[in-house]
Amino acid sequence: MSERFKGQNVVIIGGNSGIGRSAARAFAAEGARVVITGRSRQTLDSVAAEIGPQCLALRSDIGVVSEIRELFTRLRSELERIDVLFVNAGIGAFQTIDKVTEADWDSIHSINLKGVFFCVQQALPLLGKGSSIVLTGSIGALKGIPAGSVYAASKAGLRALGRSFAAELVGKGIRVNVVSPGPTETPIIGRSGLPPQAIGVLREQMIRNTPMHRMGTPEEVAAAVLFLASAESGFVTGIDFLIDGGAASF
Question: Catalytic amino acids?
Answer: 151
Nearest to 89 by CA among 57, 120, 112, 71: 112
Distance in angstroms (rounded) separating the CA atoms of residues 115 and 37:
13
Cα dist. 17→51, 184, 222 in Å? 13, 13, 12
For 33, residues 6+ apart whose C-beta sits below 8 A from its C-beta are: 7, 8, 9, 10, 54, 55, 56
For 247, residues 6+ apart whose C-beta sits below 8 A from its C-beta are: 139, 143, 182, 183, 206, 209, 210, 211
Nearest to 89 by CA among 20, 22, 156: 20
Helix (H) or strand (E) holding 179: strand 175-181
Distance in angstroms (rounded) separating the CA atoms of residues 44 and 12:
12
Pairing of strands 84-87, 55-59: unpaired
Task: Please say whether the beta carbons of 193 and 91 come within 8 A.
Answer: no
